[in-house]
Amino acid sequence: MARRPPYASRAPGTLGLAAVLFSQGFGTRRECAARVQAGTVRIDGRICTDPDEPVATDDLVFSVDGREWAFHARALVLLHKPAGYECSMRPRHHPGVLSLLPLPLRQRGVQPVGRLDADTTGLLLLTDDGALLHRLTSPRHEVPKVYEVGTRHPVTPQQLEALRAGVVLDDDPRPARATAAEATGDCALRLTITEGRYHQVKRMLAAVGNRVETLHRSTVGTLALPPDLGPGQWRWVQAGDLERAPSR
């Protein structure tokens, strides 16, 4: 039987069911069609077995093998990164952060937005949206990132002043500046930076004669790590949340 190609002229905002699954990372086009035909996909509780069934994607929620999934044209998720995970796409010494996400997200190609060191915890965004990835990581856009830093030695007013004035790191004559730096305890400070240079916070603290013992990112842009999201847990972010949420 001749089959319509998956993206053939449909009403705007609709896709064939197998194409929906494919777009959300549920395997190759062939695998997605087979999943539908096998009766594993439901919409509103109804088993759908026609891979070409037109489906409106706005606010679409479907289930695959009993697991509910909300349609997202572009994926943007927030992960509470635990210590002991690498942000690299090819991790070498620790498991990768992608292993904390469900397979469909990995299969649709989400990537970390910038990197956190393996021992750093906190807010990590991941997306499959190349333009957004660029906007969030480009130094030109100056997206503020807030870190809670635990230090080996007491934090002094001189150190805070030097961090705000800018310190020169060993590989780059341009000073690295904190847009805000405040002590939050004897050996603790809150630091805001807008760049993402290699080991930047650790090297900035070393440049003022201190040493980072613990590092946790609490905020990126307008997004704060939700207090109810435990280490290793993730949740969807709507692109608009990046602008709307309060910064702290």
Number of residues located near ligand URA, criterion CB under 6 A: 8
Residue 103: Cβ-neighbour burial (10 angstroms; 0-12, 13-18, 19+):
exposed
Tokens encoding 83: 């210590």
120 part of the interface to ligand URA, by CB under 6 A: yes
Catalytic-residue membership of 50: no
- In whole angstroms, the minimum distance from the beta carbon of 159 to ligand URA comes to 16
In the bound state with ligand URA, the residue whose beta carbon lies nearer, of 53 and 119, is: 119
In the bound state with ligand URA, the residue whose beta carbon lies nearer, of 107 and 200, is: 200
- In whole angstroms, the minimum distance from the beta carbon of 155 to ligand URA comes to 16
215 part of the interface to ligand URA, by CB under 6 A: yes
Alpha-carbon span 46 to 7, nearest angstrom: 23
177 part of the interface to ligand URA, by CB under 6 A: no
Paired residues of 143 in beta bridges = none
Catalytic residue, chosen from 44, 117, 170, 186, is: 117
Interface mask toward ligand URA for 15-34; x: CB under 6 A: --------------------
Residues 72-111 that bind ligand URA (CB under 6 A): none
Given 31, 117, 213, 241, the residue binding ligand URA (CB under 6 A):
117
Q: What are phi and psi of 15, to 5 degrees?
A: -140, 160
In the bound state with ligand URA, the residue whose beta carbon lies nearer, of 117 and 213, is: 117
Alpha-carbon span 202 to 102, nearest angstrom: 31
Q: What are phi and psi of 109, to 5 degrees?
A: 85, 30
Q: Candidates 36-44, 95-103, 114-122, 166-174 — which segment interacts with ligand URA by CB under 6 A?
A: 114-122
Q: How many CA atoms lie within 13 A of 206 on its CB side?
A: 9
User: How many residues appear in the chain?
Assistant: 248
Query: Cβ(126)–Cβ(220) under 8 Å?
Result: no
Tokens encoding 160: 């805070």
What is the number of other CB atoms lying within 10 angstroms of the CB of residue 28? Answer: 10
Buried b (16+ CB within 10 A) or exposed e, 75-86: bbbbbbbbbebb
Q: Candidates 28-36, 174-182, 200-208, 235-243 — which segment interacts with ligand URA by CB under 6 A?
A: 200-208
Q: Candidates 47-55, 78-86, 116-124, 170-178 — which segment interacts with ligand URA by CB under 6 A?
A: 116-124
Tokens encoding 228: 């109810």
Active site residues: 117
- Under the rule (CB under 6 A), what is the footprint of ligand URA? 116-117, 120, 199-202, 215
